[in-house]
C-alpha cells in the first residue's frame, strides 16, 4: 500500500502539515519505539508462530475495553496509543493507553462536565482528540444546559484542551462550538493540508426531524409507524481557533429517499426490521487518499444488530459526495457463522510507520452481550479507489 495522505497526521489525528523535517522525526521516533518493543519480554503479548519464520506480535478483537464510539490517537511524543470513547466515566470521558496495543491501562477521567458552571449537563458522547501545536483538543457531544423548551434531545458539540493526551482537559469556552438551531452530535475534524482550512463534520440527530420518503410511506401502509425521523450528516468550515464556524453548514449525506436506491436496503434496516421509526446517518469520519475525499458513516440504530458502516467519495471536502457501490463495508457477520453484530461509529488511525490505515469501531459479540466493545481492522484501497474493511475479524492479526 502506498503512503496515505491525510489532513490529520500524528497517527492520522493531528492538524499539522507533514513537513520533510517532521517526516524524519516521525520515522526516527518510530524506529526507537520499535527497537524498545523488541526488547520487552514477559508482558503478556500473544505470539503467532509462522513456519520457517520468527514469531510476530498479534492481537485479536475485541480489545479489552468496553467503549462505544471509539477513537484512537497514536501519540508520537511518547510512542503510545490512546483510546477514547463513550462510557466508563460519569459526566465526562476516560481514556486507556497502551505502548504495545495489547496491554491497555486505564488513565481514569480525562474530562469532567456537568459542573455547576458548565454548559454541558449530560449524555457525554463520541470524543475525538487531535494533537495540534503541542496541545490536545477534544471535540465531543453533550446535552446543552440552555434548554428553555425542555427538549428531550438537546445535544451540541463542545471542545476542550489539554497539555497531555491523558488530560486533564478543560473547556476551551463555556459554550458549544456553535448552535445550528437543532440538536447535533458526533463531531469529526479534518484539516486540508493544502489550504490549512479546518472543517467540522457532524450529525443532525433524528429527534423531531420527520422526513417524507418511500420508506416512510411503506412503514405507514404496514401500520408500523406514522412517521420516520432521520439524522443527516453536515459539514462546515471551522474558525482557526475553534471558537466557532464559518459560513453555513452543507448537507452531505442522508438516507435514501427511494426504496429502489441501491443504498436503501442496508440503510433502512432499522425500519424494515420493525426496530424503530428512525433512519440514521451518523458517526462520520472524513479523510483524503490519492486526491479523493472519503467520508465513512454509520446507518441504523446504534443499539441494534443492524448498525453498519458505509462510505462516500468526493473531489471536495464539502462534497457533493457519492455513496459507494460496495456499501456497506462493515456489518454483522452472523449470516456467515460469526458472532459479531452492531458494527458502527468508526474512526480511523494510521500505523506508526504511516503505511497502514486502520478502522476502529464498536460492536457486540455473543460473549459480550449488550456491552459495546472495541474492534480494530485493516482498511484496504483497491487500484480503482474502492475502500474495503477486513472485518469484523475476531482472528489474530498483526498489531499496528
State the Cα torsion 36-377-64-160 to the nearest 10°: 80
256 pLDDT above the threshold of 90: yes
Top pLDDT among 218 and 38 is at 218
pLDDT of residue 195: 87
366 pLDDT above the threshold of 50: yes
State the Cα torsion 332-286-146-241 to the nearest 10°: 150
SS3 percent helix, strand, coil of the chain, rounded to 5, is 10, 40, 50
138 pLDDT above the threshold of 70: yes
The DSSP code sequence of 220-261 is HHTTS-S--EE-EEEEEEEPTTSSSEEEEEEEEE---SSTTS
Determine which helix (DSSP H) or strand (DSSP E) holds 21, and give its type and residue range.
helix 20-39
7 pLDDT above the threshold of 60: no
In a domain, 13, yes or no: no
In a domain, 6, yes or no: no
Task: Tell me which DSSP letter residue 26 carries.
Answer: H
Give the residue-averaged pLDDT of 214-241. 98
Give the residue-averaged pLDDT of 359-382. 96
Are the beta carbons of 216 and 198 closer than 8 angstroms? Answer: no
Write out the residue range of the structural domain in which residue 240 sits: 20-398
In a domain, 334, yes or no: yes
Looking at every residue in the chain, the average pLDDT score rounds to 88
27 pLDDT above the threshold of 50: no
236 pLDDT above the threshold of 50: yes
The CATH number of residue 67's host domain is: 2.115.10.20
pLDDT tens sequence across 261-287 = 999 999 999 999 999 999 999 999 999
pLDDT tens sequence across 99-126 = 999 999 999 999 999 999 999 999 999 9
pLDDT of residue 133: 86
Angle at 351 (CA atoms; ends 348, 355), nearest 5 degrees:
105
45 pLDDT above the threshold of 60: no
pLDDT of residue 194: 83
Are the beta carbons of 42 and 326 closer than 8 angstroms? Answer: no
129 pLDDT above the threshold of 60: yes
69 pLDDT above the threshold of 90: yes
In a domain, 11, yes or no: no
Give the residue-averaged pLDDT of 145-159. 97
pTM: 0.88
Q: Which of 56-65, 150-159, 225-234, 377-386 has the lowest mean pLDDT?
A: 56-65
For residue 96, the cross-strand partners are 83, 106
pLDDT tens sequence across 180-200 = 999 999 999 999 888 889 999
43 pLDDT above the threshold of 70: no
In a domain, 9, yes or no: no
pLDDT of residue 56: 60
Top pLDDT among 123 and 54 is at 123
In a domain, 194, yes or no: yes
Domain count, the chain: 1
| CA distance linking residue 145 with residue 154, whole number of Å | 8
In a domain, 364, yes or no: yes
In a domain, 4, yes or no: no
Residue 72: C-alpha distances to residues 83, 131, 220, 236, 376 (Å): 5, 12, 41, 23, 10
Amino acid at each position: 500500500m502506498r503512503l496515505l495522505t491525510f489532513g490529520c497526521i500524528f497517527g492520522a489525528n493531528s492538524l499539522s502539515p507533514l513537513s520533510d523535517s517532521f517526516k524524519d522525526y516521525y520515522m526516527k521516533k518510530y524506529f526507537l519505539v520499535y527497537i524498545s518493543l523488541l526488547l520487552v519480554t514477559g508482558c503478556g503479548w500473544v505470539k503467532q508462530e509462522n513456519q520457517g519464520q520468527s514469531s510476530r506480535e498479534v492481537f485479536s478483537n475485541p480489545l479489552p475495553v468496553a467503549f462505544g464510539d471509539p477513537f484512537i490517537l497514536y501519540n508520537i511524543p511518547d510512542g503510545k496509543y490512546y483510546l477514547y470513547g463513550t462510557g466508563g466515566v460519569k459526566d465526562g470521558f476516560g481514556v486507556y493507553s497502551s505502548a504495545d496495543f495489547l496491554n491497555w491501562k486505564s488513565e481514569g477521567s480525562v474530562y469532567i462536565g456537568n459542573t455547576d458552571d458548565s454548559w454541558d449537563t449530560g449524555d457525554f458522547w463520541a470524543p475525538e482528540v487531535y494533537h495540534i501545536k503541542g496541545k490536545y483538543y477534544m471535540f465531543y457531544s453533550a446535552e446543552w444546559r440552555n434548554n428553555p423548551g425542555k427538549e428531550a434531545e438537546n445535544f451540541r458539540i463542545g471542545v476542550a484542551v489539554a497539555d497531555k493526551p491523558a488530560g486533564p482537559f478543560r473547556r476551551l469556552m463555556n459554550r458549544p462550538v456553535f448552535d445550528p438551531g437543532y440538536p447535533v452530535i458526533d463531531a469529526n475534524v479534518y484539516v486540508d493540508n493544502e489550504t490549512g482550512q479546518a472543517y467540522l463534520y457532524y450529525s443532525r440527530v433524528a429527534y423531531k426531524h420527520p422526513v417524507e420518503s418511500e420508506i416512510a410511506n411503506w412503514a405507514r401502509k404496514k401500520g408500523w409507524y406514522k412517521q420516520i425521523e432521520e439524522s443527516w450528516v453536515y459539514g462546515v468550515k471551522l474558525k482557526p481557533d475553534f471558537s466557532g464556524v464559518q459560513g453555513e453548514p452543507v448537507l452531505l449525506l442522508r438516507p435514501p429517499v427511494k426504496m429502489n436506491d441501491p443504498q436503501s436496503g442496508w440503510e433502512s434496516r432499522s425500519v424494515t426490521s420493525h426496530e424503530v421509526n428512525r433512519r440514521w446517518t451518523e458517526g462520520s469520519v472524513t479523510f483524503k487518499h490519492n486526491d479523493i475525499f472519503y467520508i465513512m458513516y454509520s446507518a441504523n440504530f446504534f443499539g441494534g444488530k443492524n448498525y453498519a458502516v458505509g462510505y462516500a467519495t468526493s473531489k471536495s471536502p464539502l462534497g457533493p459526495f457519492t455513496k459507494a457501490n460496495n456499501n456497506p463495508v462493515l456489518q454483522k457477520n452472523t449470516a456467515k457463522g460469526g458472532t459479531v453484530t452492531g458494527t458502527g461509529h468508526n474512526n480511523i488511525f494510521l500505523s506508526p510507520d504511516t503505511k497502514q490505515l486502520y478502522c476502529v469501531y464498536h460492536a457486540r459479540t455473543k460473549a459480550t452481550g449488550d456491552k459495546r466493545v472495541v474492534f480494530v481492522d485493516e482498511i484496504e484501497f483497491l487500484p480503482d479507489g474502492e475502500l474495503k474493511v477486513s472485518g469484523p475479524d475476531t482472528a489474530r492479526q498483526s498489531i499496528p
